[in-house]
Amino acid sequence: MTPNGASGRRPDGAAFIIALVLVGLGALLIWDGARIPNKAGYSGVGPGDVPKLIGYALVLLGFGTAVEGWRNPGPPRPKQQPVPLLWLLGGMVVMVATIHSIGFVLGATILFTCAAAGFGERRFHIAIPSGLVLGLFIYAVFDVLLQLNLPAGPIEMALFGR
């Protein structure tokens, strides 16, 4: 017997893997929350209650994902293309490897440009300045306004004196 609307297709295997990961993470949070001593005080809510609540929610989401994967296999998946993923991974690797020498703004610019290329943007004369402006904005918010130290490079030294 085939599931409703399946038209002869098998249940969605990816949904079952996602469901298994969700149930596993939820069970881990429930177990970890149960290990935290309950010092609920007058409110009745202790520090272990929030991880348990999130864990129960993840378990429910996992079971719901498994049921939907069984009932509705969904449309056929398109062929995966590795090039966009390689652009994203390459941008992350370059940013992590060079952020302490070139600074946050240039690292974020490289990551943004690689992510844009991964999504198909080939007009680098637009992507690079956009990444630079975005990196400067993020640096200004986090390092200058919130005073959370980000790695400073030549651009940050010239503009913010840090």
What average pLDDT does this structure show over 68-81?
84
What average pLDDT does this structure show over 51-80?
90
What average pLDDT does this structure show over 127-150?
93
Between 28 and 161, residue with greater pLDDT: 28
Q: Looking at the predicted structure, is the pLDDT value of residue 1 above 50?
A: no
- Residue 36 sits at the vertex; the CA angle it makes with 32 and 42, to the nearest 5 degrees, is 135
Q: What token pair was written down for 102? A: 């070139």
User: Residues 18-65: pLDDT tens digits?
Assistant: 999 999 999 999 999 999 887 767 777 778 889 999 999 999 999 999
- Please state, in angstroms and rounded to a whole number, the distance separating the CA atoms of residues 105 and 157: 11
